[in-house]
Structure 1
Amino acid sequence: MNHAEVASHPWIKSYPEGIAWDKPIDTTPVHEQLLASCAKMGDATALDFLGATTSYRELGEKVNALAGALQSELGVKKGDRVALLMPNTPFYVIAYFAVLRIGATVVNCNPLYSIGELSHIVSNSGAEILITLDLNVTFASAEKLVSQGHVKKLIVAHFPNALSGLKKILFPLVKGKDLAKPAQSQAASAVISFDDLIGMRKSPTAVTIDAEKDVAVQQYTGGTTGTPKGAMLSHANIAANMSQIDAWGDGLFYPPSKIVAVLPFFHIFAMTVCMNVPLCSGAQVVMLPRFEMKPFLALMKRTRPNVLPAVPTLLHALATKSTATAELLAPIEVAISGGAGLPNETREAFSKKSKAILAEGYGLTEASPVVTCAALRVPSKPGSIGLPLPGTDVRFVNLEDADTEVPYGERGELVLKGPQVMLGYYADEAATREAFNARGYLRTADVGYLDEDGYVFLVDRIKDLIICSGFNVYPRAIEDAIYRHPAVDETNVIGVKDEYRGEAPVAYVKLKEGQSLDEATLKTFIKDHLSKLEMPREIIFRDELPKTMIGKLSKKDLREDYEKHVKSKG
């Protein structure tokens, strides 16, 4: 690489030894990679779900069987949308790859979304087939989608079949109330058994896929700012990001590694980092349907995984809960934080308990998702979200003019190019145009800067920016100050309307167990770390702070809470 290229891509000189920014990117469709991995790994364990294991050979057979049945029994064709509505289970993995195997498009659905949000996603995407579980938490929503006319067919997996031995037998007896009865539901005529389809052992017909143009996953995003938009991720987009992560991991995701999958696969971070990358590399994925401390620690003790993709709230819980001992966390070699900014206090607390490399990464749905990441084998600059992945070009542009770059060290909006960037938003040309600047860089709405060594630092989200008396106030700076207080467990800052300043910051705080703190004391504590404009107008204490399904602290829910809070005060 010549001097001019290095000058325009300053991160290259900071790359870990042995990793090349301009390496060739593999865009082989992910299902082809998965089936090749299944053929190669045979009886090696691919999936561990609460102790029930699935071998690579078995996974490949079930993917092909379901793919064949989707074609022959339900008439699913190339380009059709198929919605998945379920937490992490082997059923999700089989369904995901089966849909891709026949050239159809996966539409991921969050089981905790409201019926209104789910209705929009399935109707907008045109997904008439939905694959789900017979757990009440998922089937109730699926049933309503059928009654509303959005979904024509429900493929329903029997949850106990994902369990092993005695658990499989006892679940209907002990937790029968959690199971729905699809055959007796209002949607019974639309229900087809997941296991029956696989049991037909149909062989799929070959489908020609154009990796660059054909959509593999239609991932909905942007619900916090309005109606969710369907980001169209091609087979090449997803495969490219896998290839980039594989190169960055420098062997991390290969056997004998075990990767924890407690983040939900329907979220783009987990789909790529917890499922696609390790399974296509022959590693083992150890799953939980959701994060709960006791089952998580039992998983750690039983399987001793060495790679932990996580969100900051999960890392915070591990760092602060006494039951999460250093001994139990000892197998973890690398923890990858994503999905939200990693507070310094969480980083420091986790590092005191674990010797693992804690690497913060950054991504967004529209980029399949990973854009930058701290090194996974050696330490990186503290506070940075790392370096751009191979083949990824990042810039920072003026907040008022997205076509004008700002110098190193100056704050601007992060924009990027790369083979992992989406084709566009489904049936929304206007939103697609707005997503890119005049030079074709994807706009992220994230504010930060690039230093002279090519490390990327983020400050906040543009949409979370608080304009206070005409000045930019960043919630994350306030949150970092509040986290310094030893009694604070979690905090989240939002902007609210203010008659005098236009907007003002309001902080929500959850205290550590057994701690007490009042608003005046906390304001006195943080005043030396903040300007007068940054000082929260109000600090509200809560026993719990709302989180999204993936575990990120939710500003959207807090804004709604604050409106109720104001009304209650009259």
Structure 2
Amino acid sequence: MTESQVTAPDARPWLRFYAAGVPHRLQVPDVTIPGLLDAAARRHGARTGFRGLHRAADACAETLRTRGIRYGDRVALVLPGCPWFAVAWHAVLRLGAVAVAIDPAAPRASLRHQLADSGAVLVVACASAGERLDAVRADTRVRDVVTVPVDGEWPGGGRPRKPARTAPGAFGPQPGDPAVLAYATADGPAAVLTHANLVAAAHQLALWHPQLRTGRETALAVTPLWQPHGLLFGLTAPLLTGARTILLPDPEPQALLRTARRRKATLLSAGPADCRRLLRRPAHELEALATVRTWLTETLDAETADRVRGSVDAVLVEGYGVPAAAGAVLANPHGANARPGTSGLPLPGTEVRIGREGAPEVGLPPGHAGELLVRGPQVCAGYWGDPAKTARRLLPGGWLRTGDVAVIGPDGYVTVIGDTGAALHGEQ
């Protein structure tokens, strides 16, 4: 089967399984992440705290500007999922600078690689990373480290006021500009995600869940923000849905359950490992999740998925994403068309196909296992500072090699089996 046959519009059988209200076509406005925050502060600010976040991000951006951060500079965020991550991330992007999100628990070698490879000139970090940063800083271009707290309320208090619009060109970012450098592995290359990539992924996630009540949801973000799918659920999609987002620096199960009960969380995003940790808690503690209506996760093993469904009265949505596609590729639909054990269907505006292992330009028909390839507006612009890696991973026509082995059924549902064993997950 040729590529044209695989990707022709009439060869997208998955569209007929979309849930009611999910569009078949994706229309994404030509805006940046700062533009989304401006709009969210105006539309949803009164209840959700976006106005305070807007003020805090503006103030933080001015502080970063006085420290010499300019358009195109890379700023590393070595922080857990805390309010300061949200503030600093938005501040960096408002300046037209590029955020480099790094695991705050990363060992020295990984920290050194990511700081040096990205060329970060400033780091916003938690205190626990201080010793490791001191040990590797001489091997990088970092000229300044700002330490911020990870506990307590985010620095957006004070009397609310009407947020100002971001003046066109005032801070520099345009939709096609780099926004985030995303490392899939500790020592691999970084995917360059533009503002347009992030905005597209946010729309894809929001459109996939038409049941969400705009401005009335409370989202509990367990997936780390330094991972692109954590950014997607915790910071970007809420700008469209108006969801109040709860950030947990340490998503330890007992603390997570206490927070879910106190804040009456209605949305939960947790990876498979976090799902299993939660399920180890006694049944009476899991009653704290009684208000959760939608539980988002990656593809689960059958036992874990059954236990989640048996423990909470929520819709379990299994999906799949990769950092180079902003964490958004596949998801199971709501309702009877969900297929447990699969990664679901391509999100709106997304195309997928299977390429022969070792020769991904050769398309394979449904039912045959091969490398999963993805195309869509959320796919990265390339890999930071390495045209050769970009050429290996991005094929002609905009197809991204995921490095994962998958099978597409005749109805369009995708089952991801594992990785190819090739060096795409940890670049050779």
TM exceeds 0.5? yes
**Alignment of 1:87 onto 2:80:** yes
The answer to whether the 8 A contact 1:264-1:290 is kept is no
Partner SS for 1:236: helix
Partner of 2:61 in structure 1? 67
CA drift at 1:334: 1.0
After TM superposition, list the pairs within 5 Å mapping 1:123-522 onto structure 2. 123-133=116-126, 135=127, 137-148=128-139, 150-159=141-150, 162=153, 206-212=170-176, 214-223=177-186, 227-252=187-212, 254-322=214-282, 325-338=285-298, 341-376=299-334, 379-463=337-421
Shift in CA distance, 42/273, structure 1 to aligned 2, threshold 3 Å: closer
CA drift at 1:41: 2.7
Paired with 1:312 and 1:160, the residues of 2 have a C-alpha distance of 25
The answer to whether the 8 A contact 1:105-1:215 is kept is yes
TM-score, normalised to structure 2's length? 0.89
The answer to whether the 8 A contact 1:27-1:243 is kept is no
Paired with 2:319 and 2:411, the residues of 1 have a C-alpha distance of 17
Partner of 2:163 in structure 1? none
CA RMSD of aligned residues (A): 2.5
Shift in CA distance, 297/160, structure 1 to aligned 2, threshold 3 Å: closer
Structure 1 stretch displaced more, 35-44 or 264-273: 35-44
* 1:90-120: CA deviation from partner (whole Å, max 9, x where unpaired): 1110000000001000011111111121111
CA drift at 1:121: 1.1
* 1:233-282: CA deviation from partner (whole Å, max 9, x where unpaired): 11101111111111111152732111111221111111111221113432
CA drift at 1:368: 0.7
In structure 2, runs of 5+ residues without a counterpart are 1-6, 158-165
Higher relative contact order (CA 8 A, sep 6+): 2
CA drift at 1:313: 1.6
Shift in CA distance, 163/255, structure 1 to aligned 2, threshold 3 Å: closer
Structure 1 stretch displaced more, 318-327 or 385-394: 318-327
Report the residue type matching 2:245 in the other structure. V
The answer to whether the 8 A contact 1:105-1:216 is kept is yes
CA drift at 1:379: 4.8
Partner of 1:561 in structure 2? none
Query: Whose Rg is larger?
Result: 1
CA drift at 1:6: 4.7
In structure 1, runs of 5+ residues without a counterpart are 46-54, 165-193, 196-202, 466-554, 557-570
The answer to whether the 8 A contact 2:265-2:292 is kept is yes
Paired with 2:340 and 2:103, the residues of 1 have a C-alpha distance of 33
Candidates 12, 17, 35, aligned match of 1:9: 12
Paired with 1:160 and 1:321, the residues of 2 have a C-alpha distance of 24
CA drift at 1:358: 0.9
Structure 1 stretch displaced more, 278-287 or 329-338: 278-287
The answer to whether the 8 A contact 1:403-1:439 is kept is no
Structure 1 stretch displaced more, 420-429 or 376-385: 376-385
Partner of 1:33 in structure 2? 36
Paired with 2:213 and 2:32, the residues of 1 have a C-alpha distance of 18
Shift in CA distance, 19/273, structure 1 to aligned 2, threshold 3 Å: same
Shift in CA distance, 464/358, structure 1 to aligned 2, threshold 3 Å: farther
Partner SS for 2:320: strand
Paired with 1:279 and 1:23, the residues of 2 have a C-alpha distance of 18
CA drift at 1:431: 0.9
Shift in CA distance, 326/146, structure 1 to aligned 2, threshold 3 Å: closer
* 1:314-352: CA deviation from partner (whole Å, max 9, x where unpaired): 2122233215645222111111112xx411110011111
The answer to whether the 8 A contact 2:257-2:286 is kept is no
Aligned length: 410
Shift in CA distance, 301/160, structure 1 to aligned 2, threshold 3 Å: closer
TM-score, normalised to structure 1's length? 0.68
Structure 1 stretch displaced more, 142-151 or 405-414: 142-151
Partner of 1:77 in structure 2? 70
Partner SS for 2:361: coil
The answer to whether the 8 A contact 1:255-1:283 is kept is yes
Partner of 1:18 in structure 2? 21
Paired with 1:365 and 1:266, the residues of 2 have a C-alpha distance of 10
Partner SS for 1:82: strand
Paired with 1:416 and 1:11, the residues of 2 have a C-alpha distance of 15
Paired with 2:26 and 2:152, the residues of 1 have a C-alpha distance of 43
CA drift at 1:395: 0.3
Paired with 1:66 and 1:320, the residues of 2 have a C-alpha distance of 40
* 1:30-82: CA deviation from partner (whole Å, max 9, x where unpaired): 1211122113333323xxxxxxxxx32221111111112222x1221111111
